[in-house]
A and B are shown apart, each in its own frame.
Chain A
Amino acid sequence: MNSKMENFKSLLTDVGISVLSITVALLFGVFFILLTEESPATAYEALYFGAFGNFRNILNTLWRSTPLILTGLAFALPYRAGLINIGAEGQFLMGGFAAGVAGYYFTSLPAIIHLPLAILAGVVAGALWAGLAGWLKAKMEVNEVISTIMLNHIAVALTINYGINKLRTSTRMATPQIMESAKLTRFKEMADSAFWSKLPFVEVFADPGIRLHMNFVLALIAAVILWYLLFKTSLGYEFRAVGLNPDGAEYGGINANKTIIWTMLIGGAVAGLGGAGETLGTHLSFMAGMDAGFGFTGIAVGLIGQSHPIGAIFGGLLFGALNQGGLEMQFAGVPSEIVNIIQALVIFFVASLQIIKIFMKNRREKEGVE
């Protein structure tokens, strides 16, 4: 009868926990800033200005959020089904590498085919890399935490150590530059493009400092698709049922193995899209170090978004803002590593504060008995 009310309450708890965690993490950050003998107010002002100070900074915050939204989704979806995907890092690398190779290997394709093909290569590579972990879990009972950690390192060896060394044509630790036809449209170049320049407002993006590209839009679309999948389809219902109660779901006729493999495949596909976007939109080649820990930060993004696809957008924006603003903080004399510390603290607090939910549930159950 009161299920709407209950849902709203639980949403409020989730948002409350996230906001509280961020606040407490920023407060702890003050302590670390004080160690640098700089003023925390100046540091946080710089952080804020760097992230939201002007139009360019805001767009660059969106740019930095893009891979994080996607790796956040890659964690969130399997988490809903009770799986812990630590492997977004490796899936991201495989996706970025596959997209990079597809981006430079085909030399005479029109953009309308080449770009989707390169993106698809990244998505499929990411999906297969995660699907492997899903298959190992479903068929061989290999714990997905361990297998995804191991697959991360194998991916580094395959793509960065071996792949780049094999394919690079200069001293730069990167695969050859991708073709023009495989580039994801950058917002700053929209005014020059035959297609996008028809839009009336594209001149506002014509600032060479703006690095935002179309993968941000794709990330938002991916989040909405995952939200629809998870909450509006029967497949999504099965995912969530397995996550809430695996035995009950199995008893109810849901094939848990299918869920494991599908959630991992989809999660990996999204992480692969993140890698493909960084290759095709940001670096224009697959570059060593371009993963930059996105896979692991994605865990924090997924958690702060309470494993909700739309929550992952907000989580990604928050962490993107921290990364973008961190640079400005660095100029103000405070090491940008403060940002990593704050991100880790957010993880600790979000994870710890879940206990509030346990208490609330216990209280509700007690009240129910009386």
Chain B
Amino acid sequence: MDTLLELISLPLILSSFRFATPLILAALGGIFSEKSGVINIALEGIMLFGAFAAVLGSAQTGNPWMGVLYAMVGGVLFAAILAIVSIVFRADQIVIGTGINIFASGITIFLLQIFFNVKGTSPLVPRLPFMRIFGVRFSVLTYVSLILVPVVYYFFYKTHWGLRIRSIGEHPAAADTLGINVNRWRFLSVLMSGVLAGLAGAHLSIGDGSAFVREMSAGRGFIALAAMIFGKWHPVKAFGAAMLFGYAEAVAVRVDFAFIPSELISAIPYVVTIVVLAGFISKSVGPAASGEAYVKGDR
């Protein structure tokens, strides 16, 4: 009973936002890339590099906002690798994404030694401002991520640009016939996903803490990917999935279960993703006509 009460306690739910922030940002990034037709499994690596770039910017300028800028630029640089190699050289996107992830984990530790002369954890740097609600810290980037969800939704479903990107992802040949420059839009979309995944990294290093730790993305890029899939590539639904996964992470950190080992709770997002993709949930839930009013004589 105590455990149950703890599961719906306010601090726990509020801290889900904190854990969900990088997932939301990176999942939105993933949506940009994939809506345009480029699979981005490099979110993990881009996020990691963004986290490093944020600390570097904050340390060099003493201004955490410059750290955010560095993170976005760093994210764009990494995303540019994906864009160039997969669009210009037509290389396998999955393979390149994996390459970027290896690259990120190598180069962040390498640069940590060049710039800070340490191998594991960077020195503390100025962090982004935060606001406490009921004792739980909310970094500025948490608010940014919450604002970006409706913005990205609006972009994709209410603007010409969003429609173009979606049409490219669905049927590039048709889009091309209509005079849309497929590759240019793909390029821009992939770079945009770099900006967002970079921001996610900034949250990890200078939003939620004030240092870079090696491998600090710790699979969150892949959870973001899972959230995007679970959310069916829709910004608002992906947000919901990211919140669910953030909640799972908060539970794993804060709640002790007598019956489920806490080590396994962290695997929930991954299991859920497979289950959803296999259609165990969405195919069995709700008949096709649910939500539609029945009108006599209507076909």
Shortest distance in angstroms between B104's beta carbon and chain A's nearest beta carbon? 8
Interface 0/1 of B257-278, CB less than 8 Å to A:
0000101101100110110011
Q: Which residue of A is nearest B267, CB measured?
A: A157
When the two chains form their complex, are residues A145 and B94 in contact, meaning their CB atoms are under 8 A apart? yes
Would B109 and A335 count as touching, CB distance under 8 A? yes
B114 on interface, CB distance cutoff 8 Å:
yes
Q: Which residues does chain A contribute within 8 Å of B92, judged by CB atoms?
A: 84, 351, 354
Instruction: Closest B residue to A161 by CB, please name it.
Output: B263
Considering the complex, which residues of chain B in the window 77-117 have a beta carbon less than 8 Å from any beta carbon of chain A?
A: 81, 85, 89-92, 94-96, 98-103, 105-107, 109-110, 113-114
Known: A161-B263, A161-B266. A351 touches B102 (CB 8 A): no
**Contact in complex: B274, A151 (CB < 8 Å):** yes
- Give B218-245 as 1s and 0s: 1 = Cβ < 8 Å from A's Cβ atoms: 0100110110010000000000000000
The reply to whether the CB of A8 lies closer than 8 angstroms to some CB of chain B is: no
Decide if A337 is an interface residue (CB 8 Å cutoff): yes
- Contact between A142 and B277 (Cβ–Cβ < 8 Å)? yes
- Grouping DSSP codes into helix (H, G, I), strand (E, B) and loop, the B interface class, with mixed when no group exceeds half, is helix
Q: Is B129 part of the contact surface with A, judged by Cβ < 8 Å?
A: no
Interface residues of A in 145-161 (CB under 8 A from B): 145-147, 149-151, 153-154, 156-158, 161
Provide the residues of chain B in CB contact with A157, threshold 8 Å: 263-264, 266-267, 270
Residue of B nearest to A348 (CB): B99
Answer whether residue B41 sits at the interface, using C-beta atoms and an 8 A cutoff. Answer: yes
Instruction: Write out the residue numbers on chain B whose beta carbons fall within 8 Å of the beta carbon of A341.
Output: 103, 106-107, 110
Q: Are A84 and B91 in contact (CB under 8 A)?
A: no
- Once A150-B270, A162-B264 are accepted as A-B contacts, the answer to whether A344 and B222 lie under 8 Å apart by CB is no
Task: Out of B98, B106, B270, name the residue touching A337 (CB < 8 Å).
Answer: B106
Q: Are B219 and A300 in contact (CB under 8 A)?
A: no
Is the beta-carbon distance between A344 and B102 smaller than 8 angstroms?
Answer: yes
CB of A70 within 8 A of chain B?
no
> Are the CB atoms of A351 and B278 closer together than 8 Å?
no
Pair B99/A158 contact, Cβ less than 8 Å: no
A28-40 near B? 1/0 per residue, CB < 8 Å? 0000100110000
Q: Does A42 contact B (CB under 8 A)?
A: no
* A-chain residues with CB within 8 Å of residue B222 when the two chains form the complex: 149-150, 153
Closest beta carbon of chain B to A130's beta carbon, Å: 14
A150 to chain B, nearest CB (A): 4
A185: chain B residues within 8 A (beta carbon): none
Q: Which of A284-301 contact B (CB under 8 A)?
A: 293, 296-297, 299-300
Inter-subunit contact A337/B109 (CB<8 Å): yes
Report the bound CA distance from A354 to B271 in whole Å. 35
Q: Does B150 contact A (CB under 8 A)?
A: no
User: Does A86 make an interface contact (CB < 8 A)?
Assistant: yes
Per a CB cutoff under 8 Å, which of B91, B102, B270, B277 touches A354?
Answer: B91
The reply on A259 being an interface residue by CB < 8 A is no
Chain B nearest Cβ from A302, distance in angstroms: 9
A305 to B144, alpha carbons, bound, how many Å?
A: 45
Shortest C-beta distance, A137 to chain B (Å), equals 10
**B residues in contact with A35, CB < 8 Å:** 114
Scoring B94, B95, B222, B261 by chain A CB atoms within 10 A of each residue's CB, the highest score goes to B95
Q: Is A1 in the interface zone, CB < 8 Å from B?
A: no
Residue B120, interface by CB 8 Å: no
CB distance from A26 to the nearest CB of B (A): 15
Q: Who on chain B is nearest to A353 by CB?
A: B89
With A and B bound together, what is the CA distance between A165 and B264 in angstroms? 11
Q: Would A300 and B99 be within 8 Å (CB), given that A145-B94, A157-B267, A351-B89 are in contact? A: yes
Contact A146 B106 (CB under 8 A): no
**A140 is an interface residue with CB less than 8 A from chain B:** yes
Say yes or no: is B62 at the interface (Cβ < 8 Å to chain A). no
User: Are A344 and B100 interface neighbours, CB within 8 A?
Assistant: yes
Bound Cα distance A47, B107 (Å): 18
A270 at the interface (CB under 8 A from B): no
Question: A335 vs B90: C-alpha distance in the bound complex, in angstroms?
Answer: 32
B102 touches A297 (CB 8 A): yes
Q: Is the CB of A84 within 8 A of B94?
A: yes
Residue of A36, A156, A355 near B90 (CB, 8 A) is A355
Q: List the B side residues contacting A145 at CB < 8 Å.
A: 39, 41, 94
Contact A347 B95, beta carbon cutoff 8 Å: yes
Known contacts A161-B263, A341-B103, A351-B85, A146 near B110 by CB under 8 Å: no
- A153 and B278 contact, Cβ closer than 8 Å, known pairs A344-B103, A355-B91: no
B89 contact set on A, CB distance < 8 A:
351-355
- Known A36-B114, A153-B270, A351-B89: A146·B229 in contact at CB below 8 Å: yes
Contact residues in B for A142 (Cβ distance below 8 Å):
274, 277-278
**Residue from the set A145, A158, A303 with the largest chain B CB neighbour count within 10 Å:** A145
Provide the bound-state CA to CA distance between A345 and B273, in Å: 31
Contact between chains at A347 and B99 (CB < 8 Å): yes
Task: Determine the chain A residues whose CB is within 8 A of the CB of B270 once the complex forms.
Answer: 150-151, 153-154, 157
Question: Does chain B have a CB within 8 A of A202?
Answer: no
Residue B123 at the chain A interface, CB threshold 8 Å:
no
Interface residues of B in 32-60 (CB under 8 A from A): 39, 41
Give the residues in chain B near A352, CB-CB below 8 Å. 85, 89, 91
Contacts of B103 in A (CB 8 A): 340-341, 344-345, 348
B110-A338 in contact (CB<8A) = yes
- Cβ-defined contact, B99 with A344, below 8 A: yes
Q: With a CB–CB cut-off of 8 A, which chain B residues contact A36? A: 113-114
Complex Cα distance A153/B221, Å?
Answer: 12
Q: Encode contact with B along A155-182: 1 for CB under 8 Å, 0 otherwise.
A: 0111001100110000000000000000
Write out, one digit per residue, whether chain A residues 216-241 have a CB within 8 A of any chain B CB (1) or not (0). Answer: 00000000000000000000000000
Knowing that A36-B113, A351-B95 touch, tell me 16 more A-B residue pairs with CB under 8 angstroms.
A140-B277, A142-B274, A142-B278, A145-B94, A147-B277, A149-B222, A153-B219, A153-B267, A154-B271, A156-B219, A162-B263, A293-B102, A347-B98, A347-B102, A353-B89, A358-B90
Query: What are the 10 A-B residue pairs with the smallest beta carbon separation, nearest first?
Result: A340-B106, A347-B99, A344-B103, A157-B267, A161-B263, A351-B91, A352-B89, A150-B270, A140-B278, A337-B110
